[in-house]
Amino acid sequence: MRLTHPHTPSVGPAPEAPPPRLAPPLPRPFLRPRHCASPASSSARTESNKAPPPLAGPAPYTRMIDSPPSRPWRRPSPPQLFPPLRPRPPVPPPPPPGRDSRPWRPTEPPPPPSFSSSAPSVRPGPPPGETQSPPAPPGERLLRALLSRYRPGVRPAAAGPGGRVLVRVGLELAQLVSLDEKHEELTTKVYLDLSWRDPRLQWDPRTHGGVGVLRVPAEHLWLPDLGLENNNDGEFGVSLGVRAIVTPDGSVRWRPPALYRSRCPIRVSHFPFDWQNCSLVFRSGSYGPEELGLRLAGGDPQGGGAQAVLPADFQENGQWELCHRSGRHHTGPSHEDVTFYLVIRRKPLFYIVNVLVPCVLITLLAVVVFYLPPDAGEKMTLSLFALLTLTVFLLLLADKVPATSLAVPLIGRYLTGTLVLLTLCVILSVGVLNLHHRSPRHPHHAPLGPQAPPAAPAPPPGAAVPPG
């Protein structure tokens, strides 16, 4: 259909009409919700939504208007205050234990072998930025090889009869710390000297760089579970797990230090001129005599002849002197132990100066009481002073000696006898004073024995004497 303007002449062929231009869409009116719209506004909106009336007269051009479809009203979404969060990248899982935590890198394939004798083969070097670690020393490689299949919880299989492991036990006495007579406890600082043979720790020095000695941490080796049997505080083991010395033939030597508090029965019969016999008994807690054998280091096969070693820097005790330190091996039907006997003697100088000499002087002072005249007035005071002083010394001695009823110490018997004599001195002093004050020279005190009737007063001179 061709549309022409009414004033355009129709002579000749009519030119082609230009393409129709679309009018911009009309602005959309504001629509209220239905529950908020009033009847007046509803009617007005209905009338506004109607199609406009046609133009009067012929229009120069035809306008194609596309009315937008009516859509329900929606509440506008609030503005975003913060930008949306971006998801974090996933965390890679940790590498399994025993593997390298560095990222994997593809390694270059080795170069093809060269068959020419003139060109030497070149090995690929480390990647750029990385240094090649130096080779491990022979001792470290040997230690890794020995401990790769070693199990510390398994007893080594010995070559002896029945597979019994023979352990040699020695003792080095570093210090005699103290002896508590009240609680019967001996405190010593020692070094245990244990040696045995483990066939799993053998190697040939010629094939391992000439390594002749290895020092292995004690927690990586099998150790004999020897403990102090007569301990007094519940500590059976050693104080520090030092390294063990291993030789190529499989011999192991372990010297751990220990601070032991052992039980020591005290004999108080000759106190303070006494001596004590304290022992250290070592026994295995897990193995019997058929699995673990004990021997004295440096002793004879019969179980004797060995002694505890005293180092050059042995520290003497100010109260006790070490007289004997022998060792003995004991074997029973169900147990086997090694015992070291420490015989110590007390140094009595302290008790002689601070206890015995004052007691002797107090006893002599009590004897001097009888030479004091009764008229001095201090006879009883001196006797009671000597008695009380000796009682104080006896209480101090009772605090030093253990509370036992098996025997009475020698110094205790001496102080008890002296206390009895001083008690007699006080009683005799009371009797002497009583006799002194009952003499005829003091008429205001009645004499001893039956009293005579009082005599009649004498008559004055010149008075007549009554008859008869």
pLDDT per residue, tens digit, the chain (468 aa), is: 444 444 444 445 555 556 656 555 555 554 455 554 444 444 544 454 555 555 444 444 444 444 555 566 777 666 655 566 667 777 767 666 655 555 555 556 556 555 444 444 455 555 665 566 677 778 888 888 888 888 988 888 754 556 788 999 999 999 999 998 888 899 999 999 999 999 999 999 888 888 889 999 999 999 998 888 888 877 777 778 789 999 999 999 999 999 999 999 988 888 888 899 999 999 988 888 888 889 888 766 665 667 888 888 888 888 899 999 999 988 887 888 999 999 999 998 988 888 888 888 888 887 788 787 777 767 778 888 888 888 888 888 777 777 777 788 888 888 888 888 888 888 888 888 788 777 565 554 545 455 555 556 666 666 565 554
Residue ranges of alpha helices (H) inside 60-179 are 138-147
Closest to 231 measured CA to CA, from 266, 260, 191:
260
Q: Residue 231: how many CB atoms within 10 A of its CB? A: 17
Give the list of residues 6+ apart from residue 169 with CB closer than 8 angstroms, or none: 192, 193, 194, 226, 282, 294, 295, 296, 297, 338
Query: H or E element: which one contains 245?
Result: strand 244-246
Would you state the structure tokens that stand for residue 43, as one six-digit string? 């009617």
Residues 322, 326: Cα–Cα separation, whole Å? 11
- Separation of alpha carbons 171 and 194, rounded Å: 9
pLDDT value of residue 8: 47
CA distance 138 to 438: 107
3-state secondary structure of 346: strand
Say if pTM beats, i.e. exceeds, 0.85: no
Question: Hey, what's the torsion of the CAs at 351, 354, 360, 362, to 10 degrees?
Answer: -150
Predicted pLDDT of residue 4: 47
CA angle 171, 173, 179 (to 5 degrees): 120
For residue 63, give the amino acid letter.
Answer: R
Query: In which region does residue 90 sit, left (phi positive, over 0), alpha (psi from -120 to 50) or beta (all else)?
Result: beta
Q: Is 221 exposed, middle or buried (0-12, 13-18, 19+ CB in 10 A)?
A: buried
**What pLDDT score does 269 carry?**
86
Angle (CA) 119-120-124 rounded to 5° is 120
The DSSP 8-state label assigned to residue 69 in this structure reads P
pLDDT value for 173: 92
